[in-house]
Amino acid sequence: MEDINVDFFNILFEDKEFSSELGKLIMASGWLEAELIGYLTKKLDKPIKQKSTLGQLTNILVNNNLLTEIGEYHYRDLSEKRNYFSHNLYSLFNFLIEESELPSKKLFELDKYNFINKVRYLKEDFIAFAKDVSSTKTNKEYLK
């Protein structure tokens, strides 16, 4: 087994740009969740738990036929990627989980920009989805 790559974790941890983008991702995720709770409360005419996770909200959308198959894929993908960045970075660099779309071996300091960009693009996706939900009328059959 290789040595733990906590050096790269520490590079990301100390990097202000990465930390800023990760914080914005978490905020954008909360924005989307809040928009979904409001949408579902109106659409289903019943209260939705304020502490519902994105995965739970996606399941509610799916169970009520409010997403297309493609929409379901996108919402589940957003949730999975957000959870990965929120919960698994240290485990990735500690080799407790396998590499998936992010590398964990043979990283150099400049590789931090790959991580920054991944988080930035994911944040932008969350913002786009939050705006979409915010602008969707509840009389439409599906969310986009």
Closest C-alpha to 7, from 98, 116, 99, 112 = 112
pLDDT value, residue 33: 96
Q: What is the pLDDT of residues 36-88, one digit of tens each?
A: 999 999 999 998 998 999 999 999 999 999 999 999 999 999 999 999 889 88
Say if CB 28 and CB 127 are below 8 A apart.
yes
Rounded Cα distance, 85 and 69, in Å: 25
Q: What is the value of pTM for the model shown?
A: 0.88
Range in 21-30, 52-61, 102-111 with the lowest mean pLDDT: 102-111
For helices 6-14 and 112-135, what crossing angle results, to 10°? 50
CB atoms within 10 A of CB 36: 26
